[in-house]
Amino acid sequence: MMIAGKKTLLIAVTSALTGIIVGLAISTGLNFNTAAYSEEPKISKGTIELLSKTNHAMAEVAAAVMPAVVNISSTRTIKTQDTANPFQNDPMFKRFFGDQFGGSMHPREFKQSSLGSGVIVDKDGYVLTNNHVIKDADEIKIKLSDKREFKGKIIGTDPKTDLAVVKIEAHNLPVLKLGKSDLMKVGETVLAVGTPFGLNQTVTSGIVSAVGRADVGIADYEDFIQTDAAINPGNSGGALVNIHGELIGINTAIFSTSGGYQGIGFAIPSNMAKTVLDSLIRSGKVVRGWLGVSIQPVTADLAKQFDLKEEKGVLVGDVREDSPAERAGIKRGDVIAEYNGAPISDPAMLRNLVAGTAPSTEVTVKLLREGKAQTVKVTIGELPASLQKISKEYDNLLKGAQVQDLTPEIRKEMNIPKHVNGVIVANIEEGSAVTGLLTRGDVLLQVNKKKIGSLKDYEKEVSVIKTGEDILLLIFRNGSTFYATVSAH
């Protein structure tokens, strides 16, 4: 960014230097054609007309979608402890000052603010955003494009997809129509609209770089649209729109080594967002479909062993007792090739499709069994509560770590040995004390030398740990067991 005064000085110096150069050229007899520098660029009329139409079209799309994108500021209360007095056990210190400066640690509170974006998806005030934008918020303020501000009320959150719905008391609002994200192709033009760094109504453009990105490590259910449209901190919860001005994604995360834009951003596809949105508005929670199988990718070696011509579909490693899959006749060793007409490419794809299917819906599943194709009808069930339950949050250094019971399904899917018992890490909140220490898929075997056999055990031990107190963990990861300390220092 250039300061105006410096710019004037720079122009004056440049002009003077140009005069000197021209004068030297004349005095030395050089052929210096200054007229060439005064000619207008030669751009054909057709090119200008084409680019003008493109500029007008992009500006028209941006103007149409910007009013439906809002700024979200949230405030939450953070509790910390005072630092213990380093002289609390010094006899000389106590002799002169007594115990009034003792080492007891008193809790302190301070307010932490964060900024994000949201998208109005209903004229009566429903706003779709990321869960991490409003997580643990004591107060939510939403600013519209016309500068009006409203207090936001959380309708429901879904950490497994990192989506949330907030309601404001307003009517006849501008909305974005949800497009069909499954129709987007790599290379198509998209616009990202949000409030990066708190800068309201910012629009960037790019293309769809990839679709169906999973295993990114952001959420439990991943099917991201990848884009090179600039997405920066504060864009979270904002809109990714197509050339029709339709919402095809909720901007969620960036891949960056510097914390800023590096050409790789991820958006939750609108198809997934719509399912979560409808469920949160209807019941305040997300009801997911359940098939009841443990699955794994089909590798070249497995394809050969199971008489498969191609490395497609997913291999069934186990079938849960009394599950929809068992009732439909699906068996261990089957390869699921299609789900309700959609070809299955990997486990994440099948998982997302099943989760997005309403319970009691009958679907068609195409199987390959011993090299032969067959079709079965399956009535999808509801994901059992035991498979959804995750840990509570506690006001200590393990805050931000979400764990759940190590179920037989998870054990098989993650290839965790039978002798390993504990709770599995489901998610780590960015910026928490355990960021970089724990990762998704870690199994916590002990907390402060106390054996952890279930989620109940974990919550019992963690609930008594004080704010700021160091925590010793015994962790199982990639076949190895090791100790690690969570410390505030």
Q: Is 162 a catalytic residue?
A: yes
Q: Which of 117, 132, 228, 391 is catalytic?
A: 132
Tokens of residue 343, six digits: 């070809």
Q: Is 136 a catalytic residue?
A: no
- How far is the CA of 449 from the CAs of 77, 408, 461, in angstroms? 31, 25, 10
The CB density around residue 199, as the number of other CB atoms within 10 Å, is 13
Contact 116, 130 (CB under 8 A): yes
Q: 338-355: b or e for each residue (b if 16 or more CB lie within 10 Å)?
A: bbeeeebebbbbbbbbbb
Q: Which of 73, 158, 162, 442 is catalytic?
A: 162
Q: Which of 73, 74, 181, 236 is catalytic?
A: 236
CB under 8 Å to 6, separation ≥6 — which residues? none
Measured distance CA(291)–CA(378) in Å, rounded: 8
Contact 167, 129 (CB under 8 A): no
Tokens of residue 8, six digits: 């004037």
Q: Is 15 a catalytic residue?
A: no
Report phi then psi at 293, rounded to 5.
-130, 150
By DSSP bridging, strand 163-167 and strand 139-143 are unpaired
Residues, the chain: 489
- Which residue numbers are catalytic? 132, 162, 236
